[in-house]
Amino acid sequence: MRSNFGTALALFGMLLMAASLIWFDSLPHIEHPTQPQTSTQRDLFPLVVLDAGHGGHDSGAMCAGMMEKDLTLDVAQRLERRLREAGLSTVMTRPDDNYISLAERAAMTNRIGNCILVSIHFNDADKTVSSGVETYYAEHQAAGRTLLASWLPFLQPVASDTANLESQSLAGFIQDALVKRTHAVNRGTKTQQFYVLANVRHPAVLVEGGFISNKEDASKLGNPDYREQLASAVSEGILHYKEVVHEEKQ
């Protein structure tokens, strides 16, 4: 009898905790954009979430003293400046050299009502001849994913069955701008269910800006002017996407 009562009490406690979390998830979340937006921008997307890959104890790819986490943050900061100059607001998943889990990055993005996500990374490969830039998007993304589902692992996201055309379009515009501006080898746009792409409910892409393991690519990436060109290209791709979305809404 006591065992049954204890089990029932434990179940009640779990239900109460779940109900509390659902209630908390339903509360409005206040975001702080870097700049106020016009009504036209708000109708499109009020924020660009910039995700500098890795950070803190997670260095990412490393080669000849060059660490991916440093490059991603540098390019993301340059990209943020350019987007703000163009009148868009931004949020950085990590503004400095600290570790942010993939779940936290996805949850942060999902708390925003309307945005796009651009994640910055750099490649490495066993073959040092591998070179160039590529942009990824998830073929399917989480649909209707909530903050609660982002944090409780037993609540799995429900993947959308429809083609992810918005993310595919964003990836294409960014990839075209990268190749045009940097003249790097064009490795194209590709689909991959990376966690930070598949578990957000907004248009999202992941940019691989070159191979740290390639001598020529690494030499370019070590040059601040080249990293500025990367940021400029990604910014151009985002602004092109914004223009197309605006035209479609007319």
Got the DSSP string for 138-189? -SS-EES--HHHHH-TTS--EE-SS--HHHHHHHHHHHHHHHHHH---EEEE
> Which of 13-17, 38-42, 53-57, 209-213 bottoms out in mean pLDDT, i.e. has the lowest?
38-42
Mean pLDDT in residue range 6-14: 57
Structure token digits, residue 119: 């994640």
- Closest by alpha carbon to 63, among 130, 133, 136, 134? 130
d(CA 212, CA 225): 17
Q: What is the pLDDT averaged over residues 237-243?
A: 96
- Give the residue-averaged pLDDT of 81-99: 97
Tell me the whole-structure pTM to 2 decimals.
Answer: 0.78
- For residues 247 and 175, which has the higher predicted lDDT (pLDDT)? 175
- 118: β partners: 50, 205
Q: What is the reported pLDDT for 30?
A: 35
24 has pLDDT over 50: no
pLDDT value of position 210: 98
Q: Does pLDDT of 165 surpass 50?
A: yes
- Report d(CA 248, CA 225) in Å as an integer: 35
Q: Does residue 36 register a pLDDT over 50?
A: no
Instruction: Categorize the per-residue pLDDT at 158 as very low, low, confident or very high, splitting at 50, 70 and 90.
Output: very low
| 50 closest CA partner among 105, 93, 106 | 93
Domains located in the chain, CATH noted = 37-248 (3.40.630.40)
pLDDT of residue 117: 98
pLDDT over 90 for what percent of the chain?
Answer: 67
**Does the pLDDT value for residue 167 go beyond 50?**
yes
- pLDDT number for residue 248: 81
Residue carrying structure tokens 């903050």? 147
At residue 133, φ and ψ (nearest 5 deg) are -115, 150
User: What are the CA-CA distances from residue 16 to residues 11, 45, 121 (Å)?
Assistant: 9, 36, 41
164 pLDDT above the threshold of 90: no
**Which stretch of 162-166, 227-231, 234-238 has the lowest confidence by average pLDDT?**
162-166
